[in-house]
Amino acid sequence: MSFLIGIIGKPSAGKSTFLNAACLTNAKVSELPFTTIEPNKGVAYVKLKCVCKELNVNDNPKNSYCVFGNRYIPINVLDVAGLVPDAHKGKGLGNRFLNDLSKADILIHIVDISGSLDKNGKRIKIGENDPYEDILFLENEINLWFKQILEREDWNKFLKLFARENKKFVGELYKRLSGIKVKRHQIGLALKKSNLEDKNPSSWSDDDLLIFSKNLRELSKPILILANKIDKENGMENFVELKKKLDGEVIPCSALAEYFLRKYHQEKKIVYLPGSDNFNILGDQNLSQKELQMLNKMKEIILNPFKETGIQKALNFAVFNILNQICVYPISDINKYTDNNGNVLPDAFLVKKGALLKNFVRDKIHTDLADHFIFGIDARTKKRLGENYELRHNDVIKIVSAK
Residue numbers at the binding site for ligand GTP (CB under 6 A): 9, 11-17, 29-31, 33-36, 81-82, 121, 228-229, 231-232, 254-256
| In the complex, minimum distance from the CB of residue 42 to ligand GTP, in angstroms, rounded to a whole number | 13
Of ligand GTP, Mg ion, none, which one does residue 229 interact with (CB within 5 to 8 Å by kind)? ligand GTP
Q: Which amino acid is at 219?
A: L
CA distance 141 to 39: 18
* Rounded least distance, CB 275 to ligand GTP, Å: 16
In 30-95, alpha helices (H): 52-55
Q: Which amino acid is at 330?
A: P
Distance CA 92, CA 95 (A): 9
Binding partner at 14 among Mg ion, ligand GTP, none, C-beta below 5 to 8 Å by kind: ligand GTP
- Residue 129, CB half-sphere, CA atoms under 13 Å: how many? 25
User: Which of ligand GTP, Mg ion, none interacts with 52 (beta carbon under 5 to 8 A by kind)?
Assistant: none
The residue (of 80 and 348) whose beta carbon lies closer to ligand GTP is: 80
Q: Is-contact 180 148, C-beta < 8 A?
A: no
CA dist., res. 133 & res. 104, Å (int): 24
CA distances 23 to 82, 280, 316, Å, are 19, 21, 14
Q: Is 358 left (phi over 0), alpha (psi -120 to 50) or beta?
A: alpha
Closest CA to 304 of 231, 366, 238: 231
CA 138, 143, 147, 152 torsion-angle sign: positive
User: Is residue 64 near Mg ion by the rule CB under 5 A?
Assistant: no
Q: Quick one: 143 or 228, whose CB is closer to ligand GTP?
A: 228
Least separation in angstroms between residue 267's CB and ligand GTP is 18
Q: Which is nearer to Mg ion, 15 or 229 (CB)?
A: 15
Q: Which is nearer to ligand GTP, 66 or 311 (CB)?
A: 311
Q: How far is the CB of 174 from Mg ion (least distance, A)?
A: 33
CB of 97 to Mg ion, least distance (A): 10
In angstroms, give the least distance from the CB of 82 to Mg ion. 7
Determine, following the binding rule CB under 5 A, whether residue 16 of this chain makes contact with Mg ion: yes
**Which of residues 6, 10, 14, 36 is near Mg ion by CB under 5 A?**
36
Indicate the residue among 121 and 201 with the shorter CB distance to Mg ion: 121
Return d(Cα 195, Cα 200) in angstroms, integer: 11
Q: Which residues bind Mg ion (CB under 5 A)?
A: 15-16, 35-36
